[in-house]
């Protein structure tokens, strides 16, 4: 797994973990540019999502292991904050469950960590077909976006990594939509917030489920937004809220 760094070397480190079928740059380039003025920003390039690497996404656990090793080696096992979007939020949960790295703040941005049973099949099909459409230069029809079980919208489409393999999509969807949180999450010791849009059914279900494992977690629901819409389309608002969360109290 590759990692991208920006910001002053002596600044407090912030780890960003991107979403499913995105690259680190597509998901977080603008966020990193803003944060690197104050923080040492670490972008994790998840396996199977990196154009620099011929890798395959195997599992959430495997990704967490690689991130742990990197943080332990380069940052003595501790970062100021961790923020994960979508699949990245699920990876962040796995990191907290394992307890091998420490953080003061944890942002779960539209994390997908609730089993959807048979809905995993249409989720995978929608994403696979959508990326195939885009790879051949076609615009996704609105009806596909509106009916998508992923709660996608038009702003999400330009962020999709069209060179992702079907195997990576298969593995990542199976992992994210079948992930089961652990009671060990109660030991993470971080200030936790969960963000999602009011039109995100899957993420809102995840938030409700996680409250039993993270009773002090603050849930913020942003009215009118779908999956990734605030991050990708309303960047100023997103960055404003993120900087507030990261700010010392």
pLDDT digit string (tens) for 174-207? 888 888 899 999 999 999 999 999 988 888 889 9
Residue 82: beta bridge partners? Answer: 15, 106
What's the rounded Cα separation, in Å, for the pair 245 and 249? 9
Smallest CA-to-CA distance from 222 within 208, 243, 204, 202 is with 204
Q: 245: which DSSP letter?
A: H
Instruction: Look at residue 202 in the predicted model and tell me its pLDDT.
Output: 82
pLDDT digit string (tens) for 26-42? 999 999 999 999 999 99
Residue 124: both structure tokens together = 């995978």
What's the rounded Cα separation, in Å, for the pair 165 and 131? 10
Per-residue pLDDT of the chain (249 residues; tens, 9 = 90+): 999 999 999 999 999 999 988 999 999 999 999 999 999 999 999 999 999 999 999 999 999 999 999 999 999 999 999 999 999 999 999 999 999 999 999 999 999 876 555 556 666 666 666 666 666 566 666 655 555 545 555 556 666 777 888 899 889 888 888 888 999 999 999 999 999 999 888 888 899 999 999 999 999 999 999 888 899 889 999 999 999 999 975
Q: 117: which DSSP letter?
A: G
All structural domains of the chain: 2-246 (3.40.50.1820)
Instruction: Look at residue 170 in the predicted model and tell me its pLDDT.
Output: 85
Smallest CA-to-CA distance from 161 within 135, 200, 182 is with 135
Q: Interior CA angle at 166 toward 139 and 132, to 5°?
A: 15
């Amino acid at each position: 797994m590759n990692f991208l760094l920006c910001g002053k070397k002596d600044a407090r480190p912030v780890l960003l973990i991107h979403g499913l079928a995105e690259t680190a740059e597509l998901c977080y380039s603008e966020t990193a540019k803003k944060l690197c003025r104050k923080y040492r920003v670490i972008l994790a390039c998840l396996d199977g999502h990196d154009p620099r690497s011929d890798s395959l996404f195997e599992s959430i656990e495997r990704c967490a292991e690689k991130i742990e090793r990197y943080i332990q080696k380069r940052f003595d096992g501790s970062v100021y904050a961790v923020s994960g979007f979508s699949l990245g939020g699920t990876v962040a949960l796995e990191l907290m469950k394992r307890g091998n790295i420490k953080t003061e703040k944890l942002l779960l941005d539209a994390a997908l960590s609730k089993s959807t049973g048979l809905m995993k099949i249409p989720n995978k099909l929608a994403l696979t077909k959508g990326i195939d459409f885009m790879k051949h230069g076609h615009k996704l029809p609105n009806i596909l976006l509106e009916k998508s079980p992923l709660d996608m919208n038009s702003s999400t489409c330009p962020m999709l990594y069209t060179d992702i393999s079907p195997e990576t999509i298969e593995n990542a969807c199976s992992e994210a939509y079948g992930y089961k949180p652990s009671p060990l999450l109660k030991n993470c010791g971080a200030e936790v917030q969960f963000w999602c849009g009011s039109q995100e059914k899957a993420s809102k279900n995840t938030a409700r489920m996680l409250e039993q494992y993270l009773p002090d977690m603050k849930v913020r629901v942003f009215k009118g937004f779908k999956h990734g819409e605030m991050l990708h389309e309303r960047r100023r608002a997103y960055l404003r809220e993120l900087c507030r969360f990261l700010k010392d109290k």
